[in-house]
Structure 1
């Protein structure tokens, strides 16, 4: 068995990587760890030199690749969504050097999925190799973010790995036959609110189209790029993805994309980009060039629920943060990550922090769920 640190996805073939990331037939469960998504980030220069995301995939070989970790050298903490800025500041105030660090993740993508790809029996071997890279290069830390619960629970405590739990909002399909079935599950007040928001969005006179596969045309990406730039500049200062990224996914991933656009006549004026997994729809980006009441809720949340029900998907993940999602049927769910801190004293401090943070997150999930929009079922029911 040989561990090998690559300079990018181009050093493997799509068949080699996808045999580890998505060996199952049909649509991948996780579209983001596929070769086509990760290599699209590299080919479009959304990751790589000058971005703070330097791809260094870690491979285990037994002649052919048998396991992999999508690994990056990070010079900042942007685009991760499991925030460690406070850790970086504390470590550097104490005289340490937090960056560069190692990150096993899908860049700019707060979506849970497997990080230890390939043979599950080789997870610990992969982890040992990644920690070895961290220590040999005198890096501060290794972070494995948005991993699965199974991965987190299997590896927590191994070789000093710390288990962190945060939360985001997901919608779950409870066997609904249509959107009205979903509404019937809600309290009367929330049901009326959502109906009013959908009516308000439709009263704008815009035409809404949900596009996927060959229905998506290059001109649609021209429009969406403008939407994305506007939202990105307001949220992050500089958008993470380049224009070329959208051309890459048009060429290689349009069957994995749901693009919901609002048209004023023939002109697209707003849009929401989703990626399609085997049982999950992942909401990723939204933007507009015209402001219309409730249009954001309609394109990002209600259209996604409509489409997921029609396709028989089990859930919609609407991305990071946003307590406003709660009233619209998206409930808080735990999100898992693993962290290795090389400095023992700092590791102990972070471990104590995580105990308190987890208690707070558990309480927040319990409280928010209690305030959710779903009808209370009495014992008599």
Structure 2
């Protein structure tokens, strides 16, 4: 299979042959940082455009179709508009925390990208506790949201932030249990090993019905964690104006907006890695001919195809289901998803111990 590992190794070798080890490491950090920032910018443009086109398709509309070919430059025009808008800080706001909050949310998203393999041999940091790292760091993003709501000196922002905090903390439990069910099957927290364990089939197929249940619960939980409809109580326009980012404008608002879409990409990447094999092609048991043909498709194409499929599903949710009330949202988690997740984890553990998975 085509691998990007040769590219990263050649850059590493060239830097170490040209500069001393310390400078080479610094330059590698700079290259990775610029690459991540570029990825964020490109993802923001692509996913906002995709959201508009998907919503237009669901509602039998055209969507953006004026700026650029088929409206492809519309999101770039909106970005330029936000870049030139004045950033305002409300009277009575805690200026330091108010300005810090958008950066906290973005930095957390950047940190989570570290262990995600975008292709075979193309990963920033293959840490041996990758799944635990992602779960722990992703929990910090709620601090940025609470910080934004409290520092804005606005009752709507505070209510939105408190709702978001309750929502994220609640649904983290179900998402975490779904992730643990796959960790139980693989016996490893290292993301590269989880991908490698799916060489002869993805876990959603090999793990029987409990794996499918875990996948469904994971998708529902991460939709709620990213404050996406029908779980967008934190920024319910009809009730809270815009929720925790009501008082933000200009580039600070753009950072919150971008963070939402980057977080969607991240959670869908985790879903693709755990349940759909990550960059691993579709292999079926001993079908050597079929598996060999699948290997011709580049690993990066497999990864991004799976991720964007899951992103489409989450966008499909938004334009299909009505928004839940806050009591319905919390009832769904604590009375249904959490108990189902716990029982499902026990079943998955039994399957792993008995070796009943394929």
Q: TM-score range by the shorter chain?
A: under 0.3
TM-score by length of 2: 0.27
TM-score by length of 1: 0.26
**Structure with greater proportional helix content:** 2
